[in-house]
Structure 1
Amino acid sequence: MQYEQLEVWKRSFFLSVRVYQLFSESRDYGFKDQICRSGLSVPSNIAEGLERESNKEKSRFLSIAKGSVGELKTQVMIAKEINYLSKEESSYLSSECEQISKMLGAFINTLKDRS
């Protein structure tokens, strides 16, 4: 299966796009760079992992993606607290992070069971 067809990749891809859109005008370049990088890391690591041969390698990259989604959720929470994001936008992004994290966790467990 190609990674582009996976729901977890699609959701993380669109989450990353949304983060870039929301922060495109931000002048806080350090924060903007960090939150965009963590958002970008999620679908990128899913893609890289699924291009690997072994389930162990796939799991490792999916685990990195899971870590990045935790980092992104933390940055979204900070962005809400410092009024860079509205409550509604923050809630949506946080919820997506949580769902993607759960999906990645289940995927990692499935790969470990197959090893």
Structure 2
Amino acid sequence: MNFENLEVWKRSARLSADIYKITSSIKDYGFRDQLTRSGLSVPSNIAEGMTRDSNKEKVRFLDIARSSIAEARTQIYIGIDICYIDKSVGRKWLDETVALSKMLTSLIATLKMTADR
């Protein structure tokens, strides 16, 4: 399965790019770096995982991607609270992180059902 064809990869890559663009003016480098890293981790781990040979390895990397999306979601909540992220942008990102998490959970479940035979 080519990771570039996965909707979850496409959407997470778009979210990561949006995070980079919109947070580029945040002067708090530590916060910005942490959020961009967690956002970038999602499509990167999907890509890395989907190129692995075994479903067990694929699932491991997809689980890391799912954890990274939860980390990013936490940072987005905080960014909204401290006025680093506009509420409307943050809400859109939060909704997208929930959708991506569900997509990853579904993909993981599918891979586990079709475990290496």
Which TM-score band applies after superposition, normalised by the shorter structure?
Answer: over 0.9
Q: Which residue of 1 aligns with 2:78?
A: 78
Deviation at 1:23, TM superposition (A): 1.0
Output the CA distance in 1 between the equivalents of 2:21 and 2:114. Answer: 38
Aligned-pair CA distance for 1:8: 0.2
Deviation of 1:27 after TM superposition, in Å, equals 1.0
State the Cα distance separating 1:95 from its structure 2 match: 0.3
1:105 counterpart residue number: 105
**Equivalent position SS for 2:24:** coil
TM-score by length of 2: 0.97
The residue number in structure 2 matching 1:23 is 23
Structure 1 residue 26, shift from structure 2 partner? 1.4
Shift of 1:85: 1.0
- TM-score normalized by the length of structure 1: 0.98
5+ unaligned residues in a row in structure 2: which ranges?
none
Letter aligned with residue 78 of structure 1: I
RMSD (CA atoms): 0.5
Mean CA deviation greater in 22-31 or 95-104: 22-31
Aligned-pair identity (%) = 52
Residue ranges of structure 1 left out of the alignment (5+ in a row): none
Instruction: Please identify runs of 4+ aligned residues in structure 1 that moved more than 2 A.
Output: none
Tell me, in whole angstroms, the C-alpha distance in 2 between the residues paired with 1:75 and 1:22.
14
- 1:11 matched residue in structure 2: 11
